[in-house]
Amino acid sequence: MPAEPPPHCARRFWQALSLSELQRLRHWREMQREHRQHRLECAAWEAVLTLWVLGWTAWLPALALDWGLLIPLCVAGILMPQAYAYLRARAHAVGRLRCDWLELLQAG
């Protein structure tokens, strides 16, 4: 029987990141940037958060201007941080990637 993954690896896709978790991730990114460590991971989080903000700011104009093709892209951008955290937690749980920031995200 396989061992139970640690609580920080047991993220579910539908678990949205709270603002406090995003704040802890921001502080982690700032520390890594200051020490010039994990540059690729910091760049990935910058891209994820940029798409998140873009999704939240573009959905209303897309809806008001009847740009139907843009609405699914906005939804994808809004879901991007939780999808990224979910995929990284799964990769960490199976041992494909080490993820230092997962303990910042507390499940439950």
Domain ranges in the chain? Answer: 18-104
DSSP 8-state symbol, 68: T
Q: How confident is the model at residue 75 (pLDDT cuts 50, 70, 90)?
A: very high
Indicate whether 59 pLDDT > 80: yes
- Angle 40-59-25 from CA coordinates, rounded to 5°: 30
Q: How confident is the model at residue 107 (pLDDT cuts 50, 70, 90)?
A: very low
Q: What percent of the chain has pLDDT over 90?
A: 25
Please report, for residues 48, 58, 59, 80, the alpha-carbon distance to residue 41 in angstroms, rounded to integers and kept in the order given.
Answer: 10, 26, 27, 15
pLDDT digits (tens, 9 = 90+) for 89-100: 888 888 888 887
